[in-house]
Amino acid sequence: MIKAGIIGATGYAGNEIVRLLLAHPEVEIVWYGSRSYIDQAYARIYQNFFRMVDAVCLDDNMTQLAEQADVIFTATPQGFCASMVNEDILSRVKIVDLSADFRIKDVNRYEEWYGIKHPSPQFIDEAVYGLCEINREDIKKARLIANPGCYPTCSTLSIYPLVKKGLIDPDTIIIDAKSGTSGAGRGAKVDNLFCEVNESIKPYGVATHRHTPEIEDQLGYACGQDVRISFTPHLVPMNRGILVTAYASLKEGVTKEQIRRAYEACYEKETFIRVLPEGVWPQTRWVEGSNYVDVNFAADPRTNRVIMMGAIDNLVKGAAGQAVQNMNLLFGFAEAEGLRQIPMMP
């Protein structure tokens, strides 16, 4: 039994970590951290945990938490984890950071896209990007995990096999992505009010969304060259889910059969990635509440392009579920432990 602490436990991602860890047979939660709700009962903030969680919220003192926990999850805004982590803490506890603080290896690029000074660039090279299906072996040996963003998780996994096999021109990639409103967090914002989002869909962060360099980096590592993409996210009136539809030009002579083989070879042994049958397109409702990723493609010989599609639950595989998957790898548990929830329908 390992002990886990969560800083940012009252945000949507933190709450989802709590939900998953309470069902994990190898974990005890010892710290529900929340700067906004110190000394308040956690189950009063999230009533779904009534008579399941008796703890009160504590502060965000990472140094104190490191004395009590084996692993710390930081579901916090950009800059927090990087401002708190130090060598002493990392020598005592493993950290899974759900912010972007350690995802981008070029500190100047991070500061440009996120608009803040990086507080601890000395740990960037050490941090392992926690996309388990790609970096599994490095994750097992790490002490600091950069948990991927929700859009980058869905986008990268939808495109990765074709970039890795060199079947598409990476400079032609266009990503159209749509997310439920929980991806914007639990903070009160006019743009996220029911009347603002219901019966509507809108693009945001057009040509400026800060997940862009993260996606470019991961696809670049896969093909061994710099990649530049066009990425446009959209907000849709649903609670959970991300749907990615991506487009790219095929290399000369690439067939539909080659594309299918690339996906199946890449993901045939992956528990959480489901390559759908031909003609069955991913839908967010088929993965809701689960750690699964559904992917598929359509080849378009008329334009010599391929359409790559993927769907995830942004709060599970896009955040908390992936964090727990990383924790399982860090501590030698079965990778799917605590993550066997069946997708919810309807």
**Domain edges within the chain:** 2-126, 151-313
Q: Residue 62 CB: number of other CB atoms within 10 A? A: 24
Statement: 2-126 belongs to CATH 3.20.20.70 = no
The residue assigned the tokens 């890795």 is: 164
Mean pLDDT on 277-286 = 98
Closest by CA position to 120, among listed 89, 158, 154: 89
Percentage above 90 pLDDT, the chain = 97
pLDDT for 234 equals: 98
pLDDT of residue 209: 97
pLDDT at 13 over 90: yes
**154 with 308: CB under 8 angstroms?**
no
| pLDDT for position 251 | 98
Helix, strand or coil for residue 178?
A: strand
Give the confidence band of 254 by pLDDT, cuts at 50, 70, 90. Answer: very high
Burial class (CB in 10 A: 0-12, 13-18, 19+), 111: middle
- Flag whether pLDDT at 74 surpasses 90: yes
CA distance 127 to 145: 6
Active-site residues, by number, are 150
pLDDT of amino acid 331: 98
Question: For the segment 165-187, what is each residue's pLDDT rounded down to a tens digit?
Answer: 999 999 999 999 999 999 988 88
Mean pLDDT of 145-155: 98
Q: How far, in whole angstroms, is CA 321 from its chain's centroid? A: 8
Q: How confident is the model at residue 189 (pLDDT cuts 50, 70, 90)?
A: confident
Tokens of 128: 């392992």
Closest CA to 102 of 82, 86, 117: 82
Whether residue 299 is predicted with pLDDT greater than 90 in this model: the reply is: yes
Does residue 87 have a pLDDT over 90?
Answer: yes
Residues 6+ positions from 80 with CB-CB distance below 8 Å: 7, 8, 60, 74, 99, 101
Nearest to 305 by CA among 274, 238, 259, 244: 259
Q: Give 98-135 pLDDT, tens digit per residue.
A: 999 999 999 999 999 999 999 999 999 999 999 999 99
pLDDT over 90 at 55, yes or no: yes
Q: Which amino acid is at 67?
A: E
Residue carrying the six token digits 């446009």: 232
Stretch 53-70: mean pLDDT: 97
* 191 pLDDT tier (thresholds 50, 70, 90): confident
Q: For residue 187, what pLDDT is reported?
A: 82
Q: What is the rounded distance in angstroms from the CA atom of residue 263 to the CA atom of residue 256?
A: 11
Closest CA to 271 of 319, 334, 188, 212: 334
Q: What is the reported pLDDT for 123?
A: 98
- Rg (alpha carbons) of the chain, rounded to whole number: 20
Give the fold, CATH level 3, of 151-313.
Dihydrodipicolinate Reductase; domain 2 (3.30.360)
